Amino acid sequence: MKDSYFDGGLFQLLGWTLLGALVTFITVGICAPWAICMIYNWKIKHTVINGRRLKFDGTALGLFGKWILWLMLIVITFGLYGFWVNIALKKWKTEHTSFA
């Protein structure tokens, strides 16, 4: 028996990713935090580590405030803060991920 595995499927991931991209495009990026949370939640729900399934408790509203702050910092630093946004997003995701 495998202790750690991922049980999600390609077509599910493709569907969630396309939905997230469509919503982000239609809302001109305003709903990007919702799309990020939706896709990440799907990935986490399908991940098992050492026999324990993970869960994600982050919300789009919780990420939205950070998203606005990060965008302002990118503008203020003439784009330089953009290099750190990916790391900040990974930290936020990790803070909201735990065992079910």
Q: What is the mean pLDDT of each run of 10 residues along the chain (100 residues)?
A: 89 96 95 96 96 96 95 95 96 96
For residues 73 and 33, give the distance between their C-alpha atoms in angstroms, rounded to a whole number.
17
Q: Which domain holds residue 34?
A: 5-99
Which residues partner with 56 through β-bridges? 97
| Sequence-ordered list of residues with C-beta below 8 angstroms from that of 23, at least 6 positions apart, any chain | 31, 34, 35
pLDDT value of residue 1: 62
Report yes or no on whether pTM surpasses 0.85: yes
| Domains in the chain, number | 1
Of 96, 1, 4, nearest to 50 (Cα)? Answer: 4
